[in-house]
């Protein structure tokens, strides 16, 4: 019984890799993921990657910042310690718009950095999850789940026909776990 | 992303409905202006409207030249296929400049405009009209120097606008990188001049209507207004051309970029508007608050409408990615933004000229329609002279394949 978990097609050229994706899709072979050292136009549409929900998260982080600042300013300037400044109302909204804006941005930025780290499993002390180290350098990797797709020799042929320089059979998902 | 089979010699034909409608609009405008000059009491209001629309027209056209220059200096690729539209706007600039200068000269001569610093006796200590503040400013605000500044600034903008259009024409004929390199060089020069002179141009043309008041933010506030209205105009022209079957190469990603620009610079406009307001509100000094006092007093509706149209509408309608990519939504927002900046200019200009005797009627609507017609006529006429794409632009392929 083989213990192969993932089949990796390693390409040296993005066009050949796109060609490989097309071939696999034509043969109804499900692609687990694709790793490239640089962004490639149109690859999300081809793989059917869902649109990021980061903007929705950003909105909620931002609105949290807005509410936090407005309520704190109301508490401080109008409730806890009201001071007459230039005869204006205690809660003079125009005065507090810049700081509210700043806190919206701050919450949004920190929230998004946190979300990014959480979703990519990148934080201090954690070894990065990489399926093939050369995907961070000069290779374009197509990863196929070997358990779901049984016809390994067919996948091997398809990848090589498309121009894969190398086909790897990994017995563990990530190579850089140590 | 394959190869494209676009007709790169496609030319716009300026005939039929577009031509007739723009001529009808010009006639409506002339009738409205004629009506405004028929009664003595309406002269000042007509002049204020003429100044508003002539300023708007000139600002949109010179920001078209600014758009071209920004694209060249940034070496932007995405916009290469749509450059003919801002070029046509830039080519209309000399006409706008002649109209604006004529309106200002006539307004100065008849004392219907700029009477805050140009009425008889303002700088004469013996006169009962003597105004010490105006006397102090008279080294800068006097008719010869004022007109000289206007002629020089607008002349320089027109020179660069025509130069950039001409270089693009040469590029069509000769090919090669020569014209592109020259465009880059002249664009750099133009942007430096433009950046330093537009605030002064706005101080002169609009802020000096209320010569006692001053704000250093005013120049950037006007710059933001003219830039965002120009972007909205480019978007409208592109969408309408695409709807009538031209420029098939303009895809949703180009519209997305323009939508981002309109969204971003509407927020920038609000930022500058608010920065000016906040400082005056916070400091609460009478010589500064007088500006907003006038606007709260007689123009309350316009004051808030301005913020709704120029801030809330683009913010809410263009925030979503998909909305920026849909031509009907982008078209609607662009029209709202253009109307919004009319309101913006209206409440910049009217309180300094007709003060509480302002109105919204035949003169306002008619003049605006007339200038829209004139703009459409000159721009579309300019557009029809050249192919709709700069076929030898070095970044053309990048622009045709533009994808976000």
B1/A98 Cβ within 8 A: no
Do A18 and A173 contact (CB within 8 A), yes or no? no
A55/B282 Cβ within 8 A: no
Q: If DSSP codes are grouped into helix, strand and coil, which group holds residue B387?
A: strand
B109 touches chain A (CB under 8 A): no
Same domain assignment for residues A80 and A105:
yes
Q: Is residue A71 a part of any domain in this protein?
A: yes
A48 touches chain B (CB under 8 A): no
A with B: how many residue pairs have Cβ under 8 Å apart? 20
Same domain assignment for residues A139 and A87:
no
Same domain assignment for residues A64 and A112:
yes
Which residues of A fall within a CB distance of 8 Å from B1?
41-42
A95/B278 Cβ within 8 A: yes
Which residues of A fall within a CB distance of 8 Å from B274?
94, 97
B281/A42 Cβ within 8 A: no
- Cα B109 from chain centre: 25
Query: Of A78, A100, A120, which marks where a domain is finished?
Result: A120
| Distance from C-alpha of B87 to C-alpha of B167, rounded to nearest angstrom | 11
Q: Where are the domains of chain B?
A: 28-400
pLDDT exceeds 70 at position B272 = yes
Residues in contact with A94: Cβ distance below 8 Å, sequence separation at least 6, in sequence order: B274, B277, B278, B281, B282
Helix (H) / strand (E) containing B55: helix B43-73
More confident residue, B192 or A170: B192
Q: Around B391, how many Cα atoms within 13 Å sit in the side-chain half-sphere?
A: 13
A47 touches chain B (CB under 8 A): no
pLDDT tens digits, B58-91: 999 999 999 999 999 999 999 999 999 999 999 9
pLDDT tens digits, B149-169: 999 999 999 999 999 999 999
B3 confidence band (pLDDT: 50, 70, 90): low
pLDDT of residue B1: 43
What ipTM score was computed for the predicted complex, to two decimals?
Answer: 0.79
Q: Give how far Cα B90 sits from Cα of B25, B97, B201, B210, B340, Å.
A: 21, 11, 18, 30, 22
Do B306 and B340 contact (CB within 8 A), yes or no? yes
How many separate domains does chain A show?
Answer: 2
Q: Is residue A177 a part of any domain in this protein?
A: no
Q: If DSSP codes are grouped into helix, strand and coil, which group holds residue A70?
A: helix
Same domain assignment for residues A11 and A97:
no
Which of A144-153, B253-262, B360-369 shows the lowest per-residue confidence on average (mean pLDDT)? A144-153
Which A positions 92-111 lie with beta carbon below 8 A of chain B? Answer: 94-95, 97-98
A174 confidence band (pLDDT: 50, 70, 90): confident
What mean pLDDT is predicted for residues B85-109? 95
What mean pLDDT is predicted for residues B19-26? 94
The CATH number covering residue A39 comes to 3.30.70
Q: Is residue A1 a part of any domain in this protein?
A: no
CB atoms within 10 A of CB B362: 14
A41/B403 Cβ within 8 A: yes
A177 confidence band (pLDDT: 50, 70, 90): low
Structural domain including A16 reads 6-51+129-170
A39 touches chain B (CB under 8 A): no
pTM, 2 dp: 0.89
B285 touches chain A (CB under 8 A): no
Q: Around A75, how many Cα atoms within 13 Å sit in the side-chain half-sphere?
A: 6
Same domain assignment for residues A15 and A67:
no
Nearest in space to A141 (alpha carbons), one of A2, A4, A1, A14: A14
Q: Is residue A175 a part of any domain in this protein?
A: no
pLDDT exceeds 70 at position B279 = yes
B268 to chain A, closest Cα gap in Å: 13
A90 to chain B, closest Cα gap in Å: 13
pLDDT of residue B230: 96
pLDDT tens digits, B218-242: 999 999 999 999 999 999 999 999 9
Q: Is residue A104 a part of any domain in this protein?
A: yes
Residue in chain B closest to A51 (alpha carbons) equals: B321
pLDDT tens digits, B129-150: 898 899 999 999 999 999 999 9
What mean pLDDT is predicted for residues A56-82? 94
Residue found under tokens 């003169």: B363
Same domain assignment for residues A94 and A140:
no
Which of B1-10, B265-274, B331-340 shows the lowest per-residue confidence on average (mean pLDDT)? B1-10
pLDDT tens digits, A99-141: 999 999 999 999 999 998 888 888 877 777 788 888 888 899 9
CB atoms within 10 A of CB B386: 18
Residues recorded for chain B: 404
pLDDT exceeds 60 at position A178 = no
Check residue A100 and give left, alpha or beta (phi > 0: left; psi -120 to 50: alpha): alpha
A43 touches chain B (CB under 8 A): no
Nearest in space to B334 (alpha carbons), one of B16, B60, B79, B94: B60
Same domain assignment for residues A108 and A63:
yes
Q: Is residue A178 a part of any domain in this protein?
A: no
| Distance from C-alpha of A171 to C-alpha of A157, rounded to nearest angstrom | 20
CB atoms within 10 A of CB A27: 12
Q: What are phi and psi of A7, to 5 degrees?
A: -105, 130
Same domain assignment for residues A138 and A82:
no
């Amino acid at each position: 019984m083989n213990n192969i978990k993932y089949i990796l097609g390693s390409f040296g050229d993005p066009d050949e890799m796109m060609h490989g994706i097309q071939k696999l899709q034509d043969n109804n072979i499900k692609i687990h993921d694709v790793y490239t050292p640089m962004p490639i136009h149109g690859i999300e549409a081809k793989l059917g990657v869902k649109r990021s929900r980061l903007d929705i998260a950003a909105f909620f982080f931002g609105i949290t910042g807005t509410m936090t600042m407005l309520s704190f300013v109301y508490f401080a300037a109008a409730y806890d310690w009201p001071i007459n400044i230039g005869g204006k109302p205690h809660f003079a909204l125009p005065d507090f718009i810049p700081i509210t804006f700043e806190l919206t941005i701050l919450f949004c930025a920190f929230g998004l950095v946190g979300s990014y780290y959480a979703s990519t499993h990148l934080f201090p002390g954690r070894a990065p999850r990489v399926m093939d180290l050369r995907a961070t350098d000069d290779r374009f990797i197509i990863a196929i789940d070997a358990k779901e797709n049984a016809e390994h020799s067919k996948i091997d042929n398809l990848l090589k026909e498309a121009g894969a320089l190398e086909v790897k059979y990994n017995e563990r998902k990530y190579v850089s776990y140590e | 992303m394959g190869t494209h089979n676009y007709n790169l010699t496609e030319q716009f034909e300026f005939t039929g409905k577009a031509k007739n409608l723009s001529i009808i609009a010009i006639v409506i405008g002339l009738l409205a202006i004629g009506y405004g000059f028929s009664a003595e009491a309406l002269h000042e209001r007509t002049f204020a409207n003429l100044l508003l629309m002539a300023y708007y027209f000139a600002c949109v056209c010179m920001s078209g030249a600014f758009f071209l220059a920004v694209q060249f200096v940034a070496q932007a690729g995405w916009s290469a296929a749509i450059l003919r539209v801002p070029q046509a706007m830039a080519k209309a600039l000399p006409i706008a400049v002649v109209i604006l200068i004529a309106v200002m000269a006539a307004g100065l001569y008849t004392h219907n405009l700029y009477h805050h610093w140009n009425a008889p006796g303002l700088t004469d200590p013996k006169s009962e009209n003597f105004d010490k503040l105006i006397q102090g400013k008279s080294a800068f605000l006097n008719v010869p120097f004022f007109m000289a500044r206007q002629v020089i600034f607008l002349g320089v903008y027109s020179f660069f606008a025509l130069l950039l259009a001409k270089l693009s024409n040469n590029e069509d004929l000769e090919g090669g990188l020569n014209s592109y390199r020259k465009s880059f060089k002249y664009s750099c020069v133009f942007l430096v001049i433009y950046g330093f002179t537009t605030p002064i141009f706005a101080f002169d043309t609009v802020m000096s209507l209320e010569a006692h008041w001053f704000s250093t933010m005013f120049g950037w506030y006007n710059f933001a207004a003219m830039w965002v209205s120009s972007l909205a105009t480019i978007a409208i022209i592109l969408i309408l051309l695409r709807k009538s079957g031209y420029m098939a190469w303009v895809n949703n990603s180009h519209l997305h970029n323009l939508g981002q620009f309109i969204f971003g610079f509407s927020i920038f406009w609000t930022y500058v508007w608010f920065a000016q307001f906040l400082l005056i509100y916070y400091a609460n000094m009478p010589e500064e608050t007088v500006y907003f006092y006038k606007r709260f007093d007689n123009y309350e509706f316009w004051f808030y409408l301005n913020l709704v149209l120029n801030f809330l509408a683009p913010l809410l309608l263009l925030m979503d990615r998909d909305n920026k990519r849909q031509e009907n939504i982008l078209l609607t927002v662009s029209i709202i933004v253009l109307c919004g900046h009319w309101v913006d200019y209206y409440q910049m200009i009217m309180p300094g000229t007709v003060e509480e005797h302002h109105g919204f009627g035949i003169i306002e609507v008619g003049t605006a329609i007339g200038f829209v017609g004139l703009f459409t006529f000159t721009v579309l006429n300019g557009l029809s002279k050249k192919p709709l794409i700069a076929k030898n632009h070095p970044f053309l392929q990048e622009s045709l394949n533009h994808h976000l």
